[in-house]
Structure 1
Amino acid sequence: MASTSVSRVLPASPQHVWDLVGGFDALPDWLPYIPESTALEGGRIRRLTNPEGDTIIERLIAFNETERHYTYAILEAPFPVTGYLSTLRVHAVPGREDLAEVQWSGRFTPDGVSDGEAESLFAGIYRDGLDALHRALSA
């Protein structure tokens, strides 16, 4: 099993960041790669569409409002992995109420690619996503 994790300190309070990213169906609010999200099964499943029209279906596995994190699994996607499980977390930065650290991590089994190729793919997705989140918070 392969894994990767990317984190970034952002110029907003942890609660403000969580208010933007904490909704499982909120990706279009801050992630340009996902312009469309449809909540299914009472919000436990999200059907995402990227700009190329590809569909990604994900299931919410765990959600913790108090600790500001959720974990999800990919059920269907055009990625070369199986068994994908990812967590998005918002942490407080000690001594700084105006900053938050966001960590996006995942583990998965590469399918048809090396561990390094799969890790690089998701590290890029997470990094681009956190860059987009930074832009959304700075706008």
Structure 2
Amino acid sequence: MATAYWSSVFTSSADEIWAVVRRFNGLPDWHPAIRASEINGDGDELTPGAVRVLTGADGSTYRERLVALDDAGRKLTYEIVEAPLPVRGYRSTLHVQPIADTDGAFLSWHATFDPADGTTAPEATAVLEAAYAPALAGLHTIIA
């Protein structure tokens, strides 16, 4: 099992960051590589089991399932159902934590996965982290 990780410190409060991150269907609001998101089937964006279909800026399509949403712990966990990424068995958690001495927030994005056939773990990790970095930079721009 391989991992990918990215994190960032925010001057806004953990509650302010969490209000944006917890919206499973809200990724296009802050990820520059995602232009649209739609929840398929029954349920809504806050109900575990919900499946979102993301459309990338390049026209690619991703299907992801919300596994867990923990408002008290400020954690959102999802898994990839289908995506043009070099991974299998991808599961990821975004976790927003308060920073006590500044009243800011720390957001971590951690994933576990197996590299797809023909891809090494470092190659797959690099692809994922290259997607996380601009997403968190985008979050900074809308939270400022």
Partners of 2:32 and 2:134 within 8 A in 1: no
Cα RMSD, aligned residues only = 1.0
1:29 CA displacement = 1.4
Matched, 1:101 2:106: yes
Matches of 1:58 and 1:88 in 2, distance apart? 14
How far apart are 1:5 and its partner, in Å? 1.1
d(CA) in 1 for partners of 2:89, 2:9: 28
TM-score, length of structure 2 as denominator length: 0.91
- Is 1:89 the counterpart of 2:95? The answer is yes
SS of alignment partner, residue 124 of structure 2 = helix
Q: In 1, Cα distance between the equivalents of 2:26 and 2:19?
A: 10
User: For 1:75-101, what per-residue CA distance to the aligned partner results, in whole angstroms no more than 9, with x for missing partners?
Assistant: 00000110000011111012222x111
SS at match of 2:119: coil
Choose from 101, 126, 132 the match for 2:132. Answer: 126
SS of the aligned residue for 1:120 comes to helix
Consecutive aligned runs of 4 or more in structure 1 exceeding 4 Å deviation: none
The answer to whether the 8 Å contact 1:11/1:134 transfers is no
- The answer to whether structure 1 residue 27 and structure 2 residue 56 are counterparts is no
In the alignment, the residues of structure 2 paired with residue 121 and residue 105 of structure 1 have an alpha-carbon distance, to the nearest angstrom, of 14
For 2:59, the aligned partner's letter is G
1:53 aligns to 2:52 (yes or no): no
1:28-71 deviation line (CA, Å, top 9, x unaligned): 11112111000123131100000111110000111101111110
Aligned length: 137
Identity rate of aligned residues, in percent?
A: 37
Partner of 1:137: 143
Deviation of 1:127 after TM superposition, in Å, equals 1.4
Equivalent residue for 2:5? 5
Q: Is the 8 A contact 2:34 2:57 kept in 1?
A: yes
Residue 74 (structure 2) pairs with residue 68 (structure 1)? yes
Gaps of 5+ in 1: none
